[in-house]
Amino acid sequence: MRRLIREPEPRLLAATALVAALAAALAVAGCAKKGPPSGGPPDLEPPRIESVVPDSGSAGVPRDVRVAITFSEGMEPNGTGQSVEFSPPVEIRQRRWSGRTMTLVLAESLRAERTYTLFIGGNARDRHGNNLADSRTVVFTTGPTFPAGGLEGDLEAVGFPAQGTLLWCYRDGRLPDSTARDFDALGIADRSGHFRVSGLETGTPWSIWAFADLNHNRSFEPGQDLLELADSSFTLTDAKPVVSGIRLKLINEKAPGRFIGVVTDTVSDGSGSLRLIVTAVADTTRRVLYEIPGSGSFDLRWDPGLYRVRAFRDSDRNRIWERKTEPASDEIEVRITPGAEVKGAAFLLYRHPVVEEPEP
């Protein structure tokens, strides 16, 4: 039996030829030399908050409000969403994104006649991993008028940046549950350490706790984070609703300090290396040797403590001071305090006399 072979139609032949030509062109393009990816320079600009609805200081906010936060650029949704919370605590049922705006859908209505603080933390970040430039607190009330009370002051941060330190505020001198984030109001320190907590009720004493989240896990952990109570409480009155000039100091006792100085050598030929011998007074087994640049200048970071320090010229590079042949400075004591700087240390090398031991 003969098979009938049908000749292809002219239009099918033309289409087949076009597909073959495109395939060949793509193959040639695939073999072409690849250039650097396009798209311009990397994004290093931190995002900022452009607007919040309701705005800070708003009164008469509906109890079923949907808070909307607009950022300067597209944000990473999960981390940014988790960086937003309320004080007093309010459960957020859903975080909806539309472009650069995040809308918060609350699990239940806000309470009547209540002031709330919305906190937008610095862990919020854009899609390129840049953290928010500045954290922000937004205070509003469901009552008809915004409370006139406020606390304002400055935080001195030693051994860590002041920016982002939280001010937990409690009514009636109540002590905090450091794990529950149960504060009645919340403030945040800026780059200079200045803070202002607004929307506070008058006629009641307020206490302030400064909380530095050094490990950035949004929860206080003893031994890692800092939590310090202000020296006194503050009573706000209708006649004087705002207390200003509050001074707080928070010290990170584990923060290293800086030791800055110079080694001068005018007695050797400059061969070998300049070094510092550093011994911890509290534990003489902790001895560290530092190599100093040829210029003699150094800028070192050490844990807090008391140290004995000597400079010498390690001519043979054996990492040991040879008193007979290598010039050295006198040994001095240096105390490093948390986050502080010791400047202007000067080590002058000279030939140390060799004391001969008497023969027996």
The pLDDT assigned to 123 comes to 87
The pLDDT assigned to 181 comes to 75
Tokens of 156: 């001195």
The pLDDT assigned to 40 comes to 61
The pLDDT assigned to 39 comes to 56
CATH code linked to domain 147-254: 2.60.40.10
Q: Is the predicted pLDDT of residue 20 greater than 60, yes or no?
A: no
Instruction: Tell me the per-residue pLDDT of 152-186, one tens digit each, with 9 for 90 and over.
Output: 999 999 999 999 999 999 987 777 776 667 889 99
The pLDDT assigned to 266 comes to 95
**Residue 44 banded pLDDT, cuts 50, 70, 90:** confident
Q: In what order do the strands lie in the sheet with 49-53?
A: 49-53, 67-71, 101-106, 92-98
- Structurally, at CATH architecture level, domain 45-143 sits in Sandwich (2.60)
**Residue 116 banded pLDDT, cuts 50, 70, 90:** very high
Average pLDDT over residues 31-54: 72
The pLDDT assigned to 31 comes to 44
**Residue 28 banded pLDDT, cuts 50, 70, 90:** very low
The pLDDT assigned to 92 comes to 96
The pLDDT assigned to 211 comes to 94
Q: Is the predicted pLDDT of residue 239 greater than 90, yes or no?
A: yes
Distance between alpha carbon 252 and the CA centroid of its chain, in Å? 14
CB atoms within 10 A of CB 161: 11
Q: Is the predicted pLDDT of residue 24 greater than 50, yes or no?
A: no
Backbone angles phi, psi at 227, to 5 degrees: -145, 115
What gap in Å lies between CA 146 and CA 139, rounded to an integer? 9
The pLDDT assigned to 358 comes to 63
What gap in Å lies between CA 115 and CA 62, rounded to an integer? 12
Residues with Cβ within 8 Å of 60's Cβ and at least 6 positions away in sequence, in order, are 141, 142, 143, 144
CA distances from 23 to 11, 26, 30, 33, 258 (A): 19, 5, 10, 18, 65
Where do the structural domains in the chain lie, given as residue ranges?
A: 45-143, 147-254, 257-348
The pLDDT assigned to 216 comes to 83
**Residue 204 banded pLDDT, cuts 50, 70, 90:** confident
Q: Is the predicted pLDDT of residue 41 greater than 90, yes or no?
A: no
Which residue in this structure is represented by tokens 């210029």?
295
Instruction: Tell me the per-residue pLDDT of 269-295, one tens digit each, with 9 for 90 and over.
Output: 999 999 999 999 999 888 999 999 999
Please state, for a pLDDT cut of 70, what percent of the chain lies above it. 86
CATH code linked to domain 257-348: 2.60.40.1120
Instruction: Tell me the per-residue pLDDT of 85-98, one tens digit each, with 9 for 90 and over.
Output: 998 889 999 999 99
Q: Which of 128, 127, 137, 201 is nearest to 165 (CA)?
A: 137
The pLDDT assigned to 289 comes to 96
Instruction: Tell me the per-residue pLDDT of 331-347, one tens digit each, with 9 for 90 and over.
Output: 999 999 999 999 999 99
Q: Is the predicted pLDDT of residue 70 greater than 70, yes or no?
A: yes
147-254 and 257-348: identical CATH topology: yes
258 forms bridges with which residues in the sheet? 301, 341
310 forms bridges with which residues in the sheet? 277
